[in-house]
């Protein structure tokens, strides 16, 4: 079994940890924001990759 890769998390983790500490996030809220950012980053990469593959003039 392999663990999932969370490449987008690196860019926001420190900032989100500080925000969570200041605002006293519950674990669920912290994880929700973390995974929401990961999904957004994956969607953006997917769009970029598809546009590149399309090779529009």
Which pTM value belongs to this model?
A: 0.79
How many CB atoms sit inside 10 A of residue 8's CB? Answer: 19
Question: What are the pLDDT tens digits along the chain (57 aa)?
Answer: 887 888 888 889 999 999 999 999 999 999 999 999 999 999 999 999 999 999 988
Q: Name which of 20, 51, 30, 23 is nearest 38 in CA terms.
A: 30
Q: Name which of 12, 7, 3 is nearest 30 in CA terms.
A: 12
Under DSSP, is residue 26 helix (H, G, I), strand (E, B) or coil? coil
Number of H helices, E strands in the chain: 2, 0
Cα 37 to Cα 8: distance, rounded to the nearest angstrom? 7
């Amino acid at each position: 079994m392999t663990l999932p890769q969370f490449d987008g998390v690196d860019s926001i983790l420190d900032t989100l940890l500080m925000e969570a500490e200041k605002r006293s996030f519950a674990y669920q809220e912290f994880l929700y924001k973390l995974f929401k950012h990961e999904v957004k980053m994956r969607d953006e990469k997917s769009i970029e990759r598809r546009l590149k593959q399309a090779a529009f003039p």
